[in-house]
Amino acid sequence: MTDPRIQQAIDAIGEESDDDYKIAPTSHADQLGDGAQRLAAMLRTPTVETIGKEYERNDALAVEAQNSFRRESNRANVTVAIAGMLSAGVLVVATFSTDLNSGVSTSLFVTLGVLGVVVGAAGAMFLSHINRGDLLTRWMGNRAQAEMHRAEYFETVTSVVPGDSQADEIPIELLQLEYFRRYQLDVEESYYRNRQSDHRASGDRTVRIGSVAVFVSALGTGLAGVLATIDPRFAAIATLALFGTVLSGFATYRESISQDRRNAERYDRTHQALVALRLHLGQVRERSLAGDRGSMEAYVRAVNNVISAEHRQWLAGDELIRSAIADLERSLERTLDD
């Protein structure tokens, strides 16, 4: 940065902070430094403020629906798994009932059966809330609207051409670019980097759960095969593999609903694309300093296009999640029927 005005523009807009992770455009004008008051005035214009408010409104609705969907879907998956475990427990008791006191086996049957019905009913309630509340559609619909308004907001802010500036003022094109850099490029780059890591860690947890399920299934089957050679009654130990099957189903639904591995890979690609675009930021700064508005606007579109492309891929996962919820409902129905 050979021209001091570039650093002045950066200082006037500010660097990324922890609070930038969730942007609130309508508050930005009050946060800008003294050197960016022309930009602050632009942010307070009715058009820009209206778009900013629409983004904030849809973003809040999307977050609310997202939290509701994740909470209810996690609860549903857990309760379906517990119901499956209880159902497997009934089969285990039935298998070993000849070796148990009749009163004990009856008590176990009744207890496990009642608990299975209660837990199954809770799972049905959670799934009903997801479907009747249309939580997934609300989440994705509001998120799509929010991201549309976010892109529109930054394209509007960077396309406004105010009147001539004073000789000692920072060029407005440079301020507009730095504003976009801080609240769009920086924020989104940080978002995709952190969320990629979160999804990767969550996906690894799901893999570990699936591995435990394989272990339990193999252990039950293997022990039954070995011990049955000593006493045929030990063949009943194979029923323990049912718990592995239930746990495997829990891991499968968890991944299908969260889409952790798919999201981690997609977010990583998007992050790398944004990093590649950041490499050109210095050139765009120099051109914006020279009054080349076209370079700035092309850069804004390039960054927004990368983000929009990722978002379209995210929306395409809608059917995969709906299919997982439908499978979860069928699994619950089979468990209750058993």
- DSSP letters, 32-81, are S-GGGHHHHHHHTSHHHHHHHHHHHHHHHHHHHHHHHHHHHHHHHHHHHH
Confidence band for 88, pLDDT divided at 50, 70 and 90 = confident
Can you give the pLDDT at residue 223?
Answer: 83
Residue with token string 């969320």: 195
Other residues' Cβ atoms within 10 Å of the Cβ of residue 150: 27
The tens digit of pLDDT for each residue in 176-200 reads 999 999 999 999 999 999 999 999 9
Q: What is the CA radius of gyration of the chain?
A: 28
CA gap 79, 334 in Å, rounded = 14
pLDDT in the model for residue 55? 96
pTM of this prediction?
Answer: 0.87
Residue for token digits 């120099």?
Answer: 286
Q: Assign 101 a pLDDT band (cuts: 50, 70, 90).
A: low
DSSP letter string over 131-197? HHTTHHHHHHHHHHHHHHHHHHHHHHHHH----PPPTTSPPHHHHHHHHHIIIIIIHHHHHHHHHHH
Q: In the predicted model, what is the mean pLDDT of the chain?
A: 88
CA-CA distance, 165 to 30, in Å (whole number)? 21
